[in-house]
Amino acid sequence: MNEHQKSPISFHASILRLPRKGMPVVLEPNAAQREALASEHDLLSVDRFRADLLVEPWKGDGVRVSGEVAAHITQACVVTLEPVESDLYARIDALFIPEHSPLARYERDPSGEILVDPEGPDAPEVFSGDRIDVGALAEEFFALEIDPYPRKAAPSGEAVHGDRSFRDETESPFARLADLRRKL
């Protein structure tokens, strides 16, 4: 999500005086917010959305946000455009450090390359000010779980165009076209 674009489920958590055990945040957007969320992500609908988060201090001046996002969405099938329902679930574990923190400096390789371990933890995100938008963070993890190519499941014995798993491989596409031409 663009840093300057506001999330439909934006919720700014103040980090000035976080309790040692953390501050729980529960996000359950109303119908208008879910509709805006669906529009933002090209979904037919977001029927249910809930984020259970814990915002807690981390290493002095850093902040850790952990929890989970659960949602029920409806998308259009990429083949038939019929509605496809699915449940989404994402675990959230993100670190934030203030821009002035010594932890915000990245150590560079002498060759000038930035080394990233794909299996390692994500690097902390840098923030400024005294608030973090945990709603936008929950939306980011939600968006990562959306299937970019949803497909309606085929009833047994029926072919779904464009999907080889349901097509009889012994029949050529030209034979099917010839059958269609005979029927006309």
What are the extents of the domains in the chain? 12-154
| DSSP states of 91-139 | EEEEEEEETTSGGGPPPPPTTSPPP--TTSPPPPEEE-SSEEEHHHHHH
Full-model pTM: 0.74
Could you give the 3-state DSSP secondary structure of residue 62? Answer: strand
Tens of pLDDT, residue by residue, the chain (184 residues): 445 568 899 999 888 888 889 999 999 999 999 999 999 999 999 999 999 999 999 887 889 999 999 999 999 998 888 999 999 999 999 999 888 776 655 555 567 676 677 777 777 788 888 889 999 999 999 999 999 999 887 766 555 555 555 455 556 777 777 777 777 7
Res 166: pLDDT: 47
Distance (Å, whole) CA 143 – CA 10 = 14
Distance (Å, whole) CA 184 – CA 175 = 15
Neighbour tally for 158: CB within 10 Å: 7
